[in-house]
Amino acid sequence: LRKQKRLLKKKEQKMFNNSLEIAEELERLKALEQLGQEVSLVNPEAPISAAVVN
């Protein structure tokens, strides 16, 4: 039972870490989208690919 609890805690921690990484990536994507919108407002004739940051 102790081993099962330990394994469950490890699994929960891994899931939490993965969720945190996904949330951080989502925030970066939102910031990138905002930047793209700002670029298109400043220069509406700029190609869409100009707002993409690699």
- 12-40, pLDDT tens digit by residue? 999 999 999 999 999 999 999 999 888 88
How many residues are there in the chain?
54
* Burial group, residue 36, by CB count within 10 angstroms (0-12, 13-18, 19+): middle
Indicate the pTM of the whole model: 0.62
Is the pLDDT at 41 greater than 90, yes or no?
Answer: no
* Residue scoring higher pLDDT (36 or 6): 6
Using the predicted structure, report yes or no on whether residue 51 has a pLDDT greater than 70: no
Domain ranges for the chain, please list them. Answer: 2-51
Q: What is the pLDDT of residue 48?
A: 62
Q: How many angstroms separate the CA atoms of 51 and 41, rounded? A: 11
Residue 36 is predicted with a pLDDT of: 84
* Chain centroid to CA 29: 6
